[in-house]
Amino acid sequence: MSGTLVLVRHGQSEWNLKNLFTGWRDVDLTPLGIQEAETGGKALAETGIKFDIAFTSDLKRAQNTLKIVLEKVGQPDLETIRNVALNERDYGDLSGLNKDDAREKWGEEQVHIWRRSYDVPPPGGESLRDTGARVWPYYMTEILPRVLRGEKVLVAAHGNSLRALVMVLDRLTKEEILKLNLATGVPMIYELNADTTVKSKAVLGDMSGAH
């Protein structure tokens, strides 16, 4: 029995717009972010997909993206599970800082390493590997079993928590995942086989807008 897993990165947030490190800070969507979520929701509605359950993070930019998407697919009251395991990577001491200011304080190279290495965390924060260490077990125990039962599952989360998932689904190396950016508001539809491997993958929209 084949199940369906749909991943959506939240639309542009207020701090994405201001070029700030956001992490676990709970900021909302910009007007563009709302529009991106609406576009993604419309694209999903056109496929005719109907979901059995939705998962999202503990942060309102992901929750509000999910709400918009569910309205567009005609399922505003769908059962939704929120969990901190799906939160964005915690940027620690960088949270709330402008990325240019961070470069001035720590240097271009060091900030680049924190942002783009796989296992070097910023001070007080998480690396991508650390983020995966909480996302993967949650996926394996809570999300994957439902997909394997043939359910259609929607996950609205964040750039890094979803990159951790895509790394597993697409079997990417740690070098490959570092080059991957996920566009905001663009749904990715995975059909899974019974052995958890990917049967097919479709991206509903333009991934070139990734940032």
Sheet arrangement for strand 152-157: 80-82, 53-56, 152-157, 3-9, 188-192, 198-203
**Count of C-beta atoms within a 10 Å radius of residue 200:** 11
Structure token digits, residue 71: 């309205």
Rounded CA-CA distance 155/116 in Å is: 24
- Judge whether 88 counts as a catalytic residue: yes
Among candidate residues 10, 36, 126, 158, the one labeled active-site is 10
- Degrees, nearest 5: CA angle 12-17-22: 80
Structure token digits, residue 9: 């990165």
Residue with token string 């309205």: 71
CA distances from 46 to 6, 52, 57, 103, 171 (A): 14, 17, 25, 43, 29
Structure token digits, residue 81: 């599970």
Among candidate residues 38, 71, 79, 88, the one labeled active-site is 88
- Judge whether 158 counts as a catalytic residue: no
Residues tagged active-site: 10, 88
